[in-house]
């Protein structure tokens, strides 16, 4: 039906809500207005109050909420889409007549007929608040992957609910404190080499999240709460099928999922990366592609890794417009723009990917004012083997990497035994950690469960917020639970065939996509080739306005107890603003984000009162394909006969032990270089006299890698070039 904002307040002590609650409900609706600018409604009845804001994508004329059952005993607000609502309605017992065109109305009667099993056959993405008046219970639920959010805070007297955490702060009894200890214990935030074993972190004290695939039922007489899990990631293998059967079923299910996701009565767009995931969604959209616009981030990284060029190419092949949104090489969000994004996202994991997608949504809404939904290729890799080939090697080496992650995860639960695996070989069985012997199938299933939690903690979390910030609904065809179940049931004997380098997807769509895309190697959104472009942006952001974000984060409530301010400042001085591939830059941004969120929560700003800055521009449409010069990037193919030289004021220095080397411009560190790397060897040979060809002939100076790094340094004005 729509992307919405839903919220509510309910008494847990048999008392009624007073008229003063209307002000809180209206404040909740104001805070969630960006999620549903088309319509709003407030209901207060007895001990329950509900707020609803709507963004209409399906049936705009007949989708108002709250929805009420024919006998008035059930009241419902929903954020999301029920894709199979027609077949669900047809399965209801005779005598039930739906009174609206809303795809969500069927949920009322499914609950009345099936009770806590009412979501068993539902396909879609949703978060819901259902008030069972007859039994005076509140029913809260979310879809299987938590695509749609729902948070709450409760005390002995009341429970307050909201689609976004910031909405809960409309109630004066909700704590406004960042939960430092909870955040620091999250392995995903720290980029730890372990599995995620949950639960999903909300980042703020006293804030809870309705778990994915779960129904919570709260008794409004006394607050007693029961939890019902209606779906689990499968653990049983389908040994009856061969590889061809799995590919065929995957193809059929993916086509069906895309058909459901492209159903809308308003305009849909698509984020097109040039990889197989988003390209497959575009290809399988079929006739619905007509009039669909696609949007691509044109950054230094997507130029380097080929994403931008491949996106433009496949868009032409499939006959759709492609908007290449330019992020110039010197583009950096202002500190105020970052604070707004961080408050919108509500997660310290806010980083370059989140920023790029937020800006794409903003551009899309300005370029296409009628656009209300965006199709994504997100969450494909997590379950179909997309990460298996990233480390190189083969399936066995991938499983060896997972085995190490499994071991370190288990060691983390037994800190008293950690010393046995600290240095050198261990002579102690891993079974000593928890009584469980390691086995490859169990390790792989632990990995799948970890990916399932990561999807909730990071992927769907930021996809929801970045879209909602521009009044857009994100749609994710690869998170159809039938697809995930199919991949989870692939038996161990077929995993090397189907899940190495997402072979199951490549085979499933090879008849729908050109080979150039169907067999294109995975290119991360900004990690890998071109990472330094994104990290340079972060480094410059942290240094902007005399380190405004850094100092604000360090002064935040609780920051002095958890952040080493001296080390933060020293590291920023070390990396300079030129950029580095070191992941410490992103990790440092996450640490500062924690402080900034602590500061924002202590005095919550109104999102609409903060500026997101000007919308970025698009590459001129007459460009046949993206190019560095057209996009404002100066990278070029360097002639081997040419001679590179250091720009004026540039020095290459090392520390006393030679473990690190530094490029300094006018006394400021621009790059940190590890010793014994091909690029360092090449730079040490740059003297303004030696040609590029002769430099690349130096021992250990790899041609392709060094050539790309020298292009980047030329872009930054740190090298000069003479023919």
Pairwise CA distance, residues 468 & 28, whole Å: 16
Pairwise CA distance, residues 476 & 484, whole Å: 12
Paired tokens of 77: 């607000």
Q: Is 502 left (phi over 0), alpha (psi -120 to 50) or beta?
A: left
**Which residues fall within 8 angstroms of residue 331, CB to CB, at 6 or more apart?**
537, 616
CB atoms within 10 A of CB 346: 22
Question: Which of helix, strand or coil describes residue 364?
Answer: helix
Closest by Cα among 380, 75, 159 to 258: 380
- Please check whether residue 378 is in contact with residue 454, taking contact to mean a CB–CB distance below 8 angstroms: no
Pairwise CA distance, residues 463 & 148, whole Å: 10
Pairwise CA distance, residues 605 & 340, whole Å: 9
Pairwise CA distance, residues 627 & 637, whole Å: 12
Bridge partners, 473 (sequence order): 373
Pairwise CA distance, residues 584 & 576, whole Å: 13
User: Exactly one of 4, 350, 487, 711 is catalytic; which is it?
Assistant: 4
Residues written for the chain: 723
Question: Which of helix, strand or coil describes residue 441?
Answer: helix
CA dihedral sign of residues 461, 465, 468, 474: negative
- Please check whether residue 632 is in contact with residue 329, taking contact to mean a CB–CB distance below 8 angstroms: yes
Closest by Cα among 671, 698, 669 to 682: 698
Annotated catalytic residue 261: no
Paired tokens of 153: 């805070």
Whether the bond between 66 and the residue before it is cis, its omega within 30 degrees of 0, is yes
What are φ and ψ of residue 89, in 5° steps?
Answer: -65, -40
User: CA–CA distance from 466 to each of 83, 282, 405, 708 (Å)?
Assistant: 23, 21, 31, 32
How buried is 428 (Cβ within 10 angstroms: 0-12 exposed, 13-18 middle, 19+ buried)?
exposed
Question: Which of helix, strand or coil describes residue 447?
Answer: helix
Place of tokens 């492609």: 322
How buried is 722 (Cβ within 10 angstroms: 0-12 exposed, 13-18 middle, 19+ buried)?
exposed
Closest by Cα among 97, 334, 137 to 220: 137
Closest by Cα among 287, 322, 306, 363 to 614: 363
**Treating both helix axes as pointing N-terminal to C-terminal, what angle do 565-575 and 531-554 enclose, rounded to 10 degrees?**
150
- Please check whether residue 63 is in contact with residue 38, taking contact to mean a CB–CB distance below 8 angstroms: no
Pairwise CA distance, residues 142 & 128, whole Å: 7
Pairwise CA distance, residues 583 & 585, whole Å: 5
Distance of CA 653 to the CA centre of its chain: 39
Pairwise CA distance, residues 447 & 406, whole Å: 8
| Pairing state between β 371-375 and 473-475 | parallel
Closest by Cα among 198, 91, 73, 183 to 137: 73
**313-317-318 Cα angle (round to 5):** 120
Please give the helix or strand (H or E) that residue 154 lies within, else none: strand 151-154
Q: Which residues are catalytic?
A: 4
């Amino acid at each position: 039906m729509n992307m919405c904002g839903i919220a509510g307040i309910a008494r847990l002590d048999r008392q009624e809500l007073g008229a003063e609650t209307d002000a809180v409900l209206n404040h909740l609706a104001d805070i969630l207005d960006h999620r549903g600018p088309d319509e709003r409604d407030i209901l207060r009845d007895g001990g329950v109050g509900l707020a609803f804001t709507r963004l209409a994508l399906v049936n705009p004329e007949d989708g108002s909420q709250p929805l009420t059952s024919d006998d008035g005993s059930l009241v419902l607000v929903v954020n999301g889409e029920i894709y199979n609502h027609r077949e669900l309605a047809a399965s209801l017992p005779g005598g039930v007549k739906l009174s609206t065109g809303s795809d969500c109305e069927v949920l009322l009667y499914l609950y009345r007929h099936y009770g806590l099993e009412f979501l068993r056959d539902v396909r879609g993405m949703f978060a819901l608040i259902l008030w069972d008046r007859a039994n005076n219970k509140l029913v809260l639920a979310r879809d299987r992957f938590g695509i749609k959010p729902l948070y709450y805070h409760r005390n002995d007297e009341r429970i307050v609910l909201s689609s976004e955490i910031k909405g809960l702060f409309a109630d004066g009894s909700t704590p406004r404190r960042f939960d430092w200890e909870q955040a620091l214990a999250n392995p995903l935030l720290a980029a730890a080499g372990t599995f995620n074993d949950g639960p999903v972190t909300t980042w703020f004290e006293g804030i809870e999240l309705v778990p994915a695939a779960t129904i919570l039922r709260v008794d409004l007489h006394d607050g007693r709460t029961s939890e019902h899990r209606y779906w689990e990631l499968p653990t049983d293998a389908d040994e009856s099928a061969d590889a061809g059967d799995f590919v065929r079923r995957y193809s059929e299910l993916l086509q069906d999922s895309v058909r459901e996701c492209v159903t809308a009565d308003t305009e849909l767009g698509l984020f097109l990366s040039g990889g197989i995931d988003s390209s497959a969604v575009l290809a399988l959209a079929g006739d619905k592609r007509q009039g669909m616009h696609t949007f691509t981030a044109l950054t230094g990284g997507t130029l380097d890794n080929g994403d931008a060029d491949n996106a433009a190419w496949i868009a032409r092949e499939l006959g759709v417009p492609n908007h290449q949104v330019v992020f110039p090489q010197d583009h950096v969000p202002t500190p105020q723009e970052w604070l707004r994004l961080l408050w919108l996202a509500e997660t310290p994991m806010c980083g370059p990917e989140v920023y790029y997608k937020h800006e794409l949504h903003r551009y899309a809404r300005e370029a296409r004012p009628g656009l209300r939904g965006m199709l994504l290729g997100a969450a494909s890799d997590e379950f179909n083997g997309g990460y298996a080939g990233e480390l190189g090697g083969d399936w066995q080496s991938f499983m060896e990497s997972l085995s190490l992650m499994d071991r370190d995860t288990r060691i983390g639960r037994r800190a008293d035994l950690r010393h046995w695996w600290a240095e050198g070989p261990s002579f102690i069985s891993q079974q000593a950690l928890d009584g469980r012997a390691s086995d490859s199938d169990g390790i792989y299933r632990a990995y799948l469960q970890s990916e399932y939690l990561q999807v909730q903690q990071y992927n769907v979390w930021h996809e929801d917020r970045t879209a909602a910030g521009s009044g857009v609904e994100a749609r994710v065809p690869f998170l159809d639970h039938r697809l995930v179940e199919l991949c989870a049931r692939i038996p161990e004997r077929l995993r090397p065939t189907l899940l190495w380098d997402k072979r199951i997807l490549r085979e499933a769509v090879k008849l729908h996509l050109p080979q150039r895309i169907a067999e294109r190697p995975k290119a991360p959104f900004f990690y890998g080739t071109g990472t330094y472009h994104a990290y340079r942006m972060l480094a410059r952001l942290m240094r902007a306005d005399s380190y405004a974000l850094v100092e604000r984060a360090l002064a935040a409530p609780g920051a002095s107890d958890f952040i080493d301010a001296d080390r933060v400042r020293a590291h920023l001085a070390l990396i300079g603003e030129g950029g580095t591939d070191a992941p410490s830059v992103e990790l440092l941004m996450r640490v500062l984000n924690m402080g900034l969120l602590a500061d924002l929560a202590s005095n919550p700003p109104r999102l609409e009162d903060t500026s997101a800055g000007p919308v970025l521009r698009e590459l001129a449409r007459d460009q046949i394909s993206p190019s560095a010069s057209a996009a404002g990037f100066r990278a070029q193919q360097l002639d081997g006969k040419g001679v590179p030289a250091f720009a004026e004021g540039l020095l290459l220095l090392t520390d006393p032990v030679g473990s690190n080397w530094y490029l300094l411009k006018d006394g400021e560190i621009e790059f940190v270089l590890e010793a014994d790397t091909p690029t360092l060897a090449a730079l040490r040979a740059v003297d303004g006299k030696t040609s590029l060809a002769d430099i690349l002939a130096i021992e250990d100076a790899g041609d392709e890698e060094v050539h790309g790094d020298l292009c980047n340094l030329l872009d930054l004005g740190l090298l000069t070039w003479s023919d």
